[in-house]
Copies of this chain bind each other. A is one copy, B any other.
Amino acid sequence: MSTFVLVHGSWHDGSAWQAVSDHLEAKGHDCFAPTIAGHGKSVDKNVNHAQCTQSIVDYIVSKDLTDIVLLGHSFGGAIIAKVAEAIPDRIRRLIFLDAFVLNDGESVRDNVPPHLQALLDELVRESNNQMMVIPFEMWREALINDADLELAQSSYARLSPEPYQPWIDKLDLKQFYSLPIPKSYLYCTEDNVLPQSEQWGWHPRMSNRLGLFRLVQMPGSHEVMFSNPVGLAEKIIVAGRD
Contact = CB atoms under 8 A, between A and B. Distances in A.
Interface stretch (A28-36, A75-83, A140-148): A140-148
B141 A182 contact: yes
Contacts of A196: 203-204, 207-208, 215
A214 interface: yes
Contacts of A214: 141-142, 145, 192
Interface residues of A, number: 31
A201 B208 CA distance: 12
Contacts of A198: 197-198
Copies in the complex: 3
Nearest to A203: B196
A226 to B, nearest CB: 16
Q: Is the interface of A mostly helix, strand, loop or mixed?
A: loop
A213 interface: yes
Contact of A216 (B137, B190, B204): B190
A168 interface: no
Contacts of A241: 148-149
Interface string A183-208: 00000011010011110010110011
A145 B214 CA distance: 6
Interface of A: 137-138, 141-142, 145-146, 148-149, 182, 189-190, 192, 195-198, 201, 203-204, 207-208, 212-217, 219, 238, 241-242
Given A195-B208, A196-B207, A196-B215, 12 more contacts: A138-B212, A141-B213, A141-B214, A145-B215, A146-B216, A148-B241, A189-B217, A190-B215, A190-B217, A192-B214, A197-B198, A217-B219
